[in-house]
A and B are shown apart, each in its own frame.
Chain A
Amino acid sequence: MIELEGLTKRYGEKVAVDGLTFAVRPGMVTGFLGPNGAGKSTTMRMVLGLDHPTAGDVRIDGRHYRQLKDPLTYVGALLDAKAVHGGRSAYNHLLCLAQSNGIPRARVAQVLDTVGLTAVARKKAKGFSYGMGQRLGIAAALLGDPRILMFDEPVNGLDPEGIHWIRNLMKSLAAQGRTVFVSSHLMSEMALTADHLVVIGQGRLLADTSMADFIRENSRSCVRIRSPQRERLLDVLHDDGITVVEAGGGALEVAGGKAERIGELAARNGIVLHELSPRHASLEEAFMQLTAQAVEYHAHAGPEPAPRDWGAGWKGA
């Protein structure tokens, strides 16, 4: 289990991570979601003790990362697939990591096999494609057979086959009872893999909820209707106090999950319906809405809107 307690990181004036408190639990995939620059990578680096928090605390099973003996056997992490010396072979890259944590040499060949890099084990890492680099990073994370795994944007740059592979890998790791913490800026990706969701924006915690609850609470639903007796239907719905909006192409839309009610009204009044379909707004939209609110909140929080920091968005997460 990873526990964050008021974790904060400031770079001068800029707050990258702002008082994060949440726990990442074993036995499931926890998605760590936020737009680019929300502070996901900074948070992960603080979990590993690479960056020093300005305030707050983060613990791994109750201990600080640097207190762990042979930490790779507790926590495996993929932060940056390109963080490899290009002149070193995949085998030697993993071997030096294994030796630093007293992991037997035989394990290197095992993880290379798991990620499908056995054939290129003796090749220099600089010749690797992005996807191969990503697999090497995952092999390094798996090396110590850790109970906790952390992946920063693991599907970035992977081909569909690779994405499918990594989704299944994360699910199977969680099914073995391990803690799996994975960041992404894509809600659609998280919806397919995560059981639990932690959403941050501008370094602040926006949601810490199960995936099912998030979907229930955040997906706006509506009902789409089409009828040849459009005017009569509008009257009937109006009399029942239901607000209707034009949806283009002759279709009508009613907010909320009122499909049954509309069907009953139409039947009672003998109105023909060509379409009566409940629809859910995509999770991507719900996520955008959630994070947009965070941005909005910040813009109005200060006494005066601060001048925009040009390029802040792409300076890196």
Chain B
Amino acid sequence: MAAAQVIRSEWTKIRSVASTVWTLSLAVVVTIALGMLISALSRNQFDSMPVQDRLSFDPTYVSFAGMSLGQLAMIVFGVLVVSNEYSTGMIRVSLAAVPQRAAFLFGKIAVAGALALAVGMATSFAAFFLGQAMLGPHGARIGDPGVLRAVLGGGLYMTLIAMFSMGVAAMLRSPMLSLGILMPFFFLISNILGNVDATKKLGRFLPDQAGSRIMQVVPRADGTPYGPWGGLGIMVLWVIAALAGGYAVLKNRDA
């Protein structure tokens, strides 16, 4: 069938360029390594922490500390998968082969999304187990309440951040423009908006702020108006909006 053909074609595309390998391996390495480092540091400092911090200590979330940097590599992966078509001019060849633009775009996003999911899940589980190993006696176990949900959520979070980037890249077309907006936004601006009192209420509805809630096991008393799955749902809505925008641009503009 036509959809299967597009999927097969997009899989060949994605596996035959080096950027796929280096962006995804960077995401894996950075997320796991940084998570292990922060976990090891936390273990050493645990005894000198204030009692309050010790009570709210969230070993699962600590092992995901590398995501803040690792997600940047996922963003690069998502942006390049889509915008490579435009920067190389390949988009015209691709659309001549698959003139149904919805089939083309969503076929590509399905393949890239599935790959991101596989890598994201593997990363999340590895980051958790290796992080807990570093934490030693202060670590959590996968069977503890809420932990499996957080670890699965970590994989979903990485997938969704990549898919959000794909949607943005489909709207903007240019890799430089897309990265120039997404990287500083998720690395700096979102964090600032989420932590400054004046913007906190709005900031926590941003895709990464809402989505990362699912990786927390120990609830924080910060009055967040949604739970872990609610937060992930907000992030999914962002992804849907970005992909719909990307499709609208692709459908209406000349290639």
> B9 within 8 Å of A by Cβ?
yes
Please name all residues of chain B whose beta carbon is closer than 8 Å to the beta carbon of A77 when the two chains form the complex: 96
Bound-state CA distance A65–B5 (Å) is 18
Q: How far is the CA of A48 from the CA of B16 in the complex (A)?
A: 26
Q: Given the complex of chains A and B, what is the CA–CA distance between A161 and B176 in angstroms?
A: 39
Contact of A48 among B2, B12, B96 (CB under 8 A): B96
Known: A88-B17, A89-B16. A99 touches B9 (CB 8 A): yes
Query: When the two chains form their complex, are residues B89 and A82 in contact, meaning their CB atoms are under 8 A apart?
Result: yes
| CB interface residues, B 90-134, toward A, < 8 Å | 90-100
B17→A51 contact, CB < 8 A? no
With an 8 A cutoff between CB atoms, is A257 at the interface?
no
Could you tell me if A79 and B16 are in contact, using CB atoms closer than 8 angstroms? Answer: no
Q: Which of A53-111 contact B (CB under 8 A)?
A: 65-66, 68-72, 75, 77, 79-80, 82-89, 92, 95-97, 99-102
* A85:B12 contact, CB within 8 angstroms: no
Contact of B99 among A49, A88, A96 (CB under 8 A): A49
Q: Which residues of B contact A75 (CB under 8 A)?
A: 96
Count of interface residues, chain B, beta-carbon cutoff 8 Å: 29
Of A50, A66, A85, A101, the contact of B92 (CB 8 Å cutoff): A50
A92 to B90, CA, bound (A): 13
Chain A neighbourhood of B5, CB < 8 A: 70, 99-102
| Beta-carbon contact of B12 and A87 below 8 Å | no
Contact B8 A80 (CB under 8 A): no
Tell me, yes or no, whether B19 is within 8 Å of chain A by CB. yes
Q: Are B90 and A84 in touch, CB under 8 angstroms?
A: yes
| A140 lies within 8 A of chain B by Cβ | yes
With the chains together, A82 CA to B12 CA distance in Å? 20
Among B8, B13, B94, the one with the most A-chain Cβ atoms within 10 Å of its Cβ is B13
* Chain B residues near A48 (CB-CB < 8 A): 92, 95-96, 99
A contact patch SS: loop
- Look across to chain B and name the residue whose beta carbon is closest to the beta carbon of A126: B88
CB-CB under 8 A for A66 and B100, given A51-B255, A85-B17, A88-B13: yes
What is the bound-complex CA distance between A84 and B93, given in angstroms? 8
B254 at the interface (CB under 8 A from A): yes
A45 close to B254 (CB less than 8 A): yes
Q: Which residues of B contact A85 (CB under 8 A)?
A: 13, 17, 84, 88, 90
Cα distance A42–B198 in the bound complex, in angstroms: 51
Q: How far is the CA of A51 from the CA of B95 in the complex (A)?
A: 11
Contacts of B12 in A (CB 8 A): 92, 95-96, 99
Q: Which residues of B from 212 to 248 have beta carbons under 8 Å from A?
A: none
A18 to nearest B CB, angstroms?
17
Name the contact of A72 in the complex, choosing from B16, B18, B96, B100 (C-beta under 8 A): B96
Chain A residues, Cβ within 8 Å of B2? 69
B6 at the interface (CB under 8 A from A): yes
Of A69, A83, A95, A140, the contact of B89 (CB 8 Å cutoff):
A83
Q: Which residues of B contact A50 (CB under 8 A)?
A: 92, 95-96, 254-255
A171 at the B interface (CB under 8 A): no
Residues of A within 8 A of B93 (CB): 79, 83-84, 97, 140
| Bound CA span A102–B4, Å | 9
Q: Give the interface centre of A69, A70, A87 by most chain B CB atoms within 10 Å.
A: A87
CA distance A84 to B99 in the complex (A): 18
A123 within 8 A of B: no
> Are B16 and A80 in contact, with the CB atoms below 8 A?
no
A83 close to B88 (CB less than 8 A):
yes
Kindly state the separation between the CA atoms of A212 and B133 in the bound complex, as whole angstroms.
Answer: 83
A contact residues around B96 at 8 Å (CB): 48-50, 71-72, 75, 77, 79
Whether A86 lies near B99 (C-beta < 8 A) is no
Contact across chains for A68 and B99 when beta carbons are under 8 A apart: yes
A96 near B92: Cβ-Cβ < 8 Å:
no
Contact A87 B89 (CB under 8 A): no
Please measure, in the bound complex, the distance between the C-alpha atom of A86 and the C-alpha atom of B17, giving whole angstroms: 9
In the complex, what residues of B have CB within 8 A of residue A87's CB?
16-19
| Shortest Cβ gap from A81 to chain B (Å) | 10
Contact yes or no, A83 B97, CB < 8 A: no
In the complex, what residues of A have CB within 8 A of residue B18's CB? 87
CB pair A100–B6 under 8 Å, yes or no, is yes
Specify which of A65, A95, A96 lies most central, judged by the most chain B CB atoms within 10 Å of its CB: A96
Pick from A72, A86, A99: contact of B8, CB under 8 Å: A99
Asked if A167 is at the interface of the complex by the 8 Å CB criterion, the answer is no
A280 close to chain B: CB less than 8 A: no
Q: Across the interface, do A72 and B17 meet the contact criterion of CB distance under 8 Å? A: no
Chain A proximity of B35: nearest CB distance (Å): 30
- Nearest neighbor of A92 in chain B, beta-carbon distance: B16
A to B CB contacts below 8 Å, 16 in the list: A48-B99, A49-B95, A51-B255, A66-B100, A83-B89, A84-B88, A85-B17, A87-B19, A88-B17, A96-B9, A100-B9, A100-B98, A101-B5, A101-B97, A102-B5, A140-B93
Beyond A48-B96, A85-B88, A100-B8, 6 additional contacts (C-beta under 8 Å) are A48-B92, A50-B95, A71-B99, A83-B88, A83-B89, A86-B88
8 closest A-B pairs (Cβ-Cβ)?
A: A83-B89, A100-B9, A92-B16, A66-B99, A51-B254, A96-B12, A99-B9, A50-B255
